[in-house]
Amino acid sequence: MKGQALKGHLDLLVLSVLAQGPCHGYGVIEQLRARSGDAFDLPEGTVYPALHRLEQAGLLESEWSEDSGRRRRTYRLSESGRGALVTERSAWEEFSDAVSAVLSGVPWPRPT
Amino acid sequence: MAETDLISDYLTALRGSLRWRADVDDLVSEADDHLRSAAERARADGLDAQAAQRHVIDRFGDAALVARAFALAPSGGIAMPTPFTRMTGTIALVGAAAWLITAPIVVLRADYLSEDWEPLYFTVAILMFVGATCTTLTYAGLLSRTGGARDVLAILAIGTAALGTLFLAVVTWAWIVGVGLLTVAALIPVLRLRDAGAAPRAARVLMVAAWPVAILSAIALDALQVGPVDSYGDYFLAQLIGLAVGCVLFGIALIGTGRWLRSELPARVPAAAAV
């Protein structure tokens, strides 16, 4: 699935990964890939602006540490982020159910 | 033979593309940690060092693409559309109007040889002062939008534009110096816009090219001895036509950047979802 298809959903996905516990950027991306069965394929570097945007919005918090001689930034969900995740998840499930309901009434076209 | 550290080369390229950002060290450190961690994983999966580095760099994305994503996303409270940047879009359009109104006035009413030249001269001076003031504020908005307006280069650009504005207001007849300062000041916001791939390209080009074209036009028309000669022995109409050309071109540049600044809604909190 290309990045364009993820447009509008990445924030929800990142929040849901970090709801499992604090994680650095690489770990977030690894979990996104693993939990989607490798379906989410977008330039990994473009996930970081999303992390920064969510932090700027107060939904994430981050702190720096040293690990194996490298600086590492770890993100965690803030209280506001937990609230936003509940709201966004509810909105997504409502949308997803509605789309499924529409599609379920339409037979799959036969391949030509 | 020593192996090439592809990740270091990549990080150097990324740093170059993000050089305007105040938080460039943090951004590069984060990318470094990601790439080294991913490369260690790839090596554990059986790839050799070079192949592992190539693989993780490929997955991370082209440095220019990643830098562009950073440039247009907020980080550390900078480089995002704000109420201020949107307001400067409106100010740019006001400035464009001032420059565009100046153009026909200086050419079509060029009766500076008459004794009644003062009202016209001061009208043009006021219009150019308004246009240049709006231009300076537009530069501040563009700098704020593309990485911050408080670093040394940004302050230098805004200061130079303010000096040009002052010059145009006080010694309007020497307009070439004033618009020259505005052009020098434009280089910093325009280079940052180019790096971010932001604002229409034509507007970016016109913002730095408008006044040089105007000055060259004035010099060429003067050399061709266009129009009457004033008491100083100058072909003043040649200079005024050059000034009008610059006013029109720069006005168009401000319309392009102003419309772009206005088109972006200020970032909301919590942020709207987007990749």
How do residues A7-34 score in pLDDT, each as one tens digit?
567 888 999 999 999 999 999 998 988 8
- Nearest CA-CA distance, residue A109 and chain B, Å: 32
* CA distances (Å), origin B60, targets A20, A93, B33, B118, B275: 24, 30, 12, 63, 14
Q: Of all helices (H) and strands (E), which one includes residue B259?
A: helix B236-263
Sign of CA dihedral B69, B73, B76, B80: positive
Q: Is the pLDDT higher at B1 or at B256?
A: B256
| Alpha-carbon span B90 to B259, nearest angstrom | 8
- Asked if A46 lies within 8 A of B65 by C-beta distance, the reply is yes
> Is residue A16 situated within a structural domain?
yes
String of b and e for B189-226 (b: at least 16 CB within 10 Å)? bbbbbebbebbeeebbebbbbbbeebbebbeebbeeeb
> Is residue A10 situated within a structural domain?
yes
The CATH number linked to A34 is 1.10.10.10
Owning domain of residue A85: 3-103
**B8-12, B59-63, B94-98, B183-187: which has the minimum mean pLDDT?**
B59-63
| Alpha-carbon span A28 to B198, nearest angstrom | 29
For residue A71, name the pLDDT band (cuts at 50, 70, 90): very high
| Alpha-carbon span B171 to A24, nearest angstrom | 58
Q: What's the residue count for chain B?
A: 275
> Is residue A41 situated within a structural domain?
yes
Q: What's the residue count for chain A?
A: 112
Q: Is the pLDDT higher at B140 or at B116?
A: B140
Q: Which of A45, A52, A72 sits opposite B75 (nearest CB)?
A: A52
| Alpha-carbon span B24 to B29, nearest angstrom | 8
> Is residue A111 situated within a structural domain?
no
Q: Cβ contacts of residue B218 below 8 Å, gap of 6+? A: B176, B238, B239, B241, B242, B243
Count of the separate structural domains present in chain A = 1
String of b and e for B82-121 (b: at least 16 CB within 10 Å)? beebbebbbbbbbbbbbbbbbbebbeeebebeeeeeeebe
ipTM given for this complex? 0.83
B144-155 pLDDT, tens digit each: 887 677 778 889
Q: Of all helices (H) and strands (E), which one includes residue B271?
A: none
Give the ranges where B197-235 is alpha helix by DSSP (H): 201-223
> Is residue A82 situated within a structural domain?
yes
> Is residue A26 situated within a structural domain?
yes
> Is residue A110 situated within a structural domain?
no
User: Chain A residues with CB-CB distance to B under 8 A?
Assistant: 3-4, 6-12, 24-26, 29, 42-46, 48-50, 52-54, 56-59, 64, 67, 70-73, 80, 84, 88
Interface test with B, best of A30, A40, A52 (most B CBs within 10 A): A52
Beta carbons within 10 angstroms of residue B17's beta carbon: 21
A80-110 pLDDT, tens digit each: 999 989 988 888 888 888 888 888 877 777 7
Q: What's the pTM value of the predicted model, to 2 decimals? A: 0.59
Do B189 and B146 form a contact (C-beta atoms < 8 A)?
Answer: yes
> Is residue A108 situated within a structural domain?
no
